Structure formats: structure tokens, C-alpha cells
Structure 1
């Protein structure tokens, strides 16, 4: 379905999953597959349910316009999972993307070097130390419950294994990594000949995820397994996705009040590392592209947008005029997409400079109908998380997240 909507050059068979489904901690991939009757349907199979299917896009997510030096760029808060009918973006997002020269993402998972770095096998000795005994049995149970074929994730860094699993818990609610907003945005950007720039690199993101020590990574793995086993992560993920889909920036900013995710010093440290410590570097990259004469459509995890260290605030402090565009909760209804028309017959030849009888005044067939193939779609784009992969990465500190954006150059 994705290739039909967004035809693109061949790319590694990678599926990206978030570290905390709204924080944008890491671009991941998963090899999981629904292969039994008790498993959730696959992403493609989910489109076959009654009432499911592609629809005309409506505006979702949170968007700000930023202006400086006579040029306009954009900040778009994304989520790394999605529903089938989220693949097609709304008119506001399409317009912003088309007005931009460059699309900036945290990582471009269709870049081969990035894909290799994220999929590089972990040190076997580290895997043997960390994934043994009861922890290994817990991880195996979660792989079985998620319908992940045995061994599919077993060579990855331990934190990436549980992060991949965290990205699969929303499938019963129709939320799939394959429909992740960042991914569909990247495909659509390529179809529209928009260059894609990565604001970070895979090696640095892996360092952020694993923390400063093996013991810290093990602690994060255990915390993620706790959330997977309790079932709490599924509810958190669904609510985060609903908040994003409504463009509810106010509730997003209050995330620490209702997420139940900043209860320990370890969770708070992880959040700071995943969000506050990374945001200045993201802002540097966006500012550099804009200063180079480019209108930038910067699409990163939605929780990178909130609080005093959020990107709208940081960009205002750098002299940008920041204007909210999509930040108010909204209820919208998308209409079913019309069926694609069959290819129209080619016009008859023109004789002597005059159209053949019956052809005068008729337009050529629409591009979308040529060859029976759909036209290339415009972009789409909230990023998310799991606790170390599940919880903490989607959060920001309670004292900071709800704080208002910087004053002065921020328009309301």
C-alpha cells in the first residue's frame, strides 16, 4: 500500500519504530510479522477491514511556521506510528511541504548507511551478559506475544530489541510502524524531488539510547519489559496517538501530568537525555539549513516541540518569528477517496492542425490515471516512545513541559 501511494526507488526492507512513540528518541526498524490467527492483522491486512482504507487527508499533528531573513520554514511534530488513513496528509501540511526546499528529519531510515548502522549486530558477549536468565525468558515471552518470528531481533542491541517490541503494541488499536508519519513523509518528499537532510546520525542516537553504562541499559530494558508485561504501554500509546491526531498541543504540553512516566530519577534522567539534551543540536541543524537559503520543513518527534527547551521556544530565542499553525484540538472528518478512474483513451491524431471530429475541446487524460497508476502523493508526517523505550522517552520533566513558549517573537 505504501509503495502504491508513494512510489519510490527501491530501499532496504526496513520498518521504523520509535523509542517512545512521541518523543522521537530513535528511528528503529522491526522484522515482526503477524503470522498466526491469534496475532493482530498485518498493516496491509488491516486495510481490508470493513470501513478501513485510504481517505482524503485531513490535518493532523502540530505545526509552527518560523520566519527569519525573509524566508519561511516549518516545525512539524510527528509520530512514528500511524493508522492507514493517516498516510495521506492534510491540505495545510501538503502546502507547507510544497513551499519548502528541504525536508529535515531526525534520521533518514532510507539512507543505506543509516540502515546499516541501526541494524548492525550487537557485541555477542554483551548480549550473552545482558540477555540471560529471567530477563532472556521475559524477552522471549514478549517476542512470542508480539508474533515476532524467533531470532528476528535477537542480534540487535538489547535496548533496540525492546524498543522494536514497544512499537508493536498498538496494532490491536490500528496503530502500525509501517504507517509511521515520518516514514510516509520521507517517501512523499522523494516523490516530489525534495532533498532530505538528517539532523542527527545513527551512531549518536544509539549512544543516547544505551546510556552511559551497561548497567543503565539493563535497567532500561527491565523497565520496558515491565511496561510491556503490564499492558500499560498500549493505553499510553493510544492516548498519545489520539492527542497527536487532534493537534492538541495544550494536552501534549501537559503530558507529564497524565503519563505516569516520570516517577523515578532514572526516568527523569532518560527523558532529559532523549529530549532536552538533543533539542539544541536539532535547532542548530534547522537554523543552519535556513541560513543557507533554504526553506526547511523540519519534522521531528512531537515532544521535541514542548516546554522551555522545545524547538519553537529555541527557534524564537534565535531570532525567528514563530507562529502556531496547527496547535488547537480539532475534530475533523475525512471523506472516502474516490476510486481511481480507468485510463482514458488517447486522443485521436490531429490532421492538418485541426482536431479530429469529436476531440475538439477535450482535455488530455489526467496524470493520475495514466497507466492506471495513482499520482504521487504529497507528504505526511509525531514521533514517539516507549519506557526506556517505553515511557521516559516520550516525556519531558514535569516542571518544564507545561511552561509557556518563549515570549517576544512567538505569535499566538
Structure 2
């Protein structure tokens, strides 16, 4: 497995892509950690933003985390998908852009028609988007090709559960803030992101499918390896999308550990793997961090 775009990028633009068929239900055991310091517990659950219908990931350990937690923390607040799509298009569209094909290296250009077709994306839509926006659309389309839907994702399911239990839901970032991160990427990093998205969308068994398989198996080594591959040769991209955000989120968790209670944190799987992941960062700060699933 080469890349992990589907596990790191947003699925907010998924409403631009039509849904596809579904595979047979999958039994998943996503990575889950328990961070504690005596009177405070923070559960860390690796999320996939889009899942195929019927994916069963609510095992006993996850159910325990949901039941014990007074608060849910997500990457961004729950919202209306159509509103998210409108915000995305407002930021990601730009006039006067050259066609996407002209923005790719020749070897990537040859993959573009297949990538767009596999993602169910129209070229006229892609041509009007900045490189990062095109990458997100292709990543979401790659997931859709595997039968995944945002409404079946981990965040959507957790939101429904916590609302039914009348428990508060918070977020580390805002919708606009996340899009601003992508929009602030350098031209070189955007080009790198786009090339990876085209390669993944042209080979669906490598992109979302591989990320989903690693998540479902709880294979953090595979998740880390794929993330490292995505960021090879692009340190600025890694800082913007992974390490800087993980640093901010870990500081929030450290501050929250100063007050008693239990919180469930659910963020993209790529944010929890490896030495830059939240579990490793918190363990380095002296907290008890135990992998429970």
C-alpha cells in the first residue's frame, strides 16, 4: 500500500460524487487507545470519514468508550453535507485555471481520465478547482467507488449516538478552518497532493480500499507506512496536514487532562499512527497510554 489520502483528507466534498454499490458487511476493529492520569480518561478512536454500509465497528471496547464518555470531540463540528459542499466550492473554485491535465506531469496526465472515471467526477468540475480541491474530489470519489458513504462514517455514527444520549459534541477545528489549511498549501505541495490523488483514484484497490483494510484490521503499522509514503518529498505538506494539527490537538488533550471526566476523541486514522500520532505524543508527555483494540 502506497498512500493514505482517504484516511487523512476530508470527505466533505463527497456530495459532489454519486454513490456506488456496496460490498458485503465487514467486521472492523479500528485502533482504540485509552489515555489516563488517574481522574481523567481520554479515549482515542481512529476514524474513517466514509464507510461502506453495514461495516460493523461497534465492538465491546468502542461501546465502552461511548458509554463512559461525557463528551465527543471530532475534527470539525457535525454539519449539513450540502452546506459543506457549498463552502468547499466557494473556497476551492477559481477562475482562469488551466485544465487539470495541464497541471500534471506527463506520466500522471495519462492516468487522469481513468482516475476521473473511477471517481465518477466530471472533467469540467475538476478543471474549475484548485489542485487541492481536485485532490479532495478524487479522494472522495475513490471512496465512493468502494461503496463508502459519509453518512455511514465513524463521525456520523458517533454524532447520532451522542445526540441520542444528549451528550455534548465539540471539535478541534472549523469547516472553514480545515479548507483554509488546504488553500494555504504551497503550489508544490498542492501539486504533490493532486498527483497522489490521481494515482490512487486510477487504482481503486490501492487508495481508499487499502486505507479501509488497514483501519478495519487495526493495522497501525500499515497506516503509518502509507502516511509516510504520502508525505515523502513533501515536508511542508506533512507539517500542514499532520504534525502541526496533531501538535494543536495534543495540547488541547493535555489541557483537558487537567480536569476530571471522560472524553472520546475520534479523528482520522492517520493522525493516530506512528511517532507523530496522538498516542505517541501523549505518551511522551508522561500520560498512561494503553492500546485497548
TM-score normalized with structure 2 length: 0.79
1:247-286 pair list within 5 angstroms: 247-253=218-224, 255-256=225-226, 261=229, 264-266=232-234, 268-286=235-253
1:125-144 pair list within 5 angstroms: 125=95, 128-131=96-99, 134-135=102-103, 142-144=115-117
User: Structure 1, unaligned stretches of length 5 or more?
Assistant: 1-18, 35-39, 327-412
Q: Which of the numbers 168, 183, 186 marks the counterpart of 1:195? A: 168
1:322 paired with 2:289, answer: yes
**CA gap 1:199/1:99 in 2 versus in 1, 3 angstroms:** same
Q: Which of the numbers 57, 62, 72 marks the counterpart of 2:31? A: 62
Instruction: Give distance in 2, aligned partners of 1:70 and 1:132.
Output: 53
Q: Figure out how many residues of one structure are paired with residues of the other and give that number.
A: 283
1:10-409 pair list within 5 angstroms: 20-22=5-7, 24-30=8-14, 31-34=16-19, 40-41=20-21, 46=22, 52=24, 60-86=29-55, 89-110=58-79, 115=84, 117-122=87-92, 124-125=94-95, 128-131=96-99, 134-135=102-103, 142-148=115-121, 157-214=130-187, 216-229=189-202, 231=203, 234-253=205-224, 255-256=225-226, 261=229, 264-266=232-234, 268-326=235-293
**CA gap 1:308/1:215 in 2 versus in 1, 3 angstroms:** closer
Q: Which has the higher contact order (CA 8 A, sep 6+)?
A: 2
**CA gap 1:67/1:79 in 2 versus in 1, 3 angstroms:** same
- Measured on the aligned residues, the alpha-carbon RMSD in Å equals 3.5
- How many angstroms does 1:298 deviate by? 0.4
- How many angstroms does 1:290 deviate by? 3.9
User: Structure 2, unaligned stretches of length 5 or more?
Assistant: none
**CA gap 1:33/1:262 in 2 versus in 1, 3 angstroms:** closer
- How many angstroms does 1:310 deviate by? 1.5
Contact 2:34 2:44 (8 Å CA) reproduced: yes
> Computing the radius of gyration over CA atoms, which structure comes out larger, 1 or 2?
1
Instruction: Give distance in 1, aligned partners of 2:103 and 2:171.
Output: 34
Deviations 1:93-128 (A, max 9, x none): 11111100110011124179x836444344533xx2
TM-score normalized with structure 1 length: 0.58
Instruction: Give distance in 2, aligned partners of 1:133 and 1:300.
Output: 33
**2:274 is paired with a residue of what secondary structure?**
coil
Deviations 1:213-236 (A, max 9, x none): 34542453244324433x2x5324
Instruction: Give the match for residue 384 of structure 1.
Output: none
- How many angstroms does 1:283 deviate by? 0.9
Deviations 1:111-147 (A, max 9, x none): 79x836444344533xx22546634998677444433
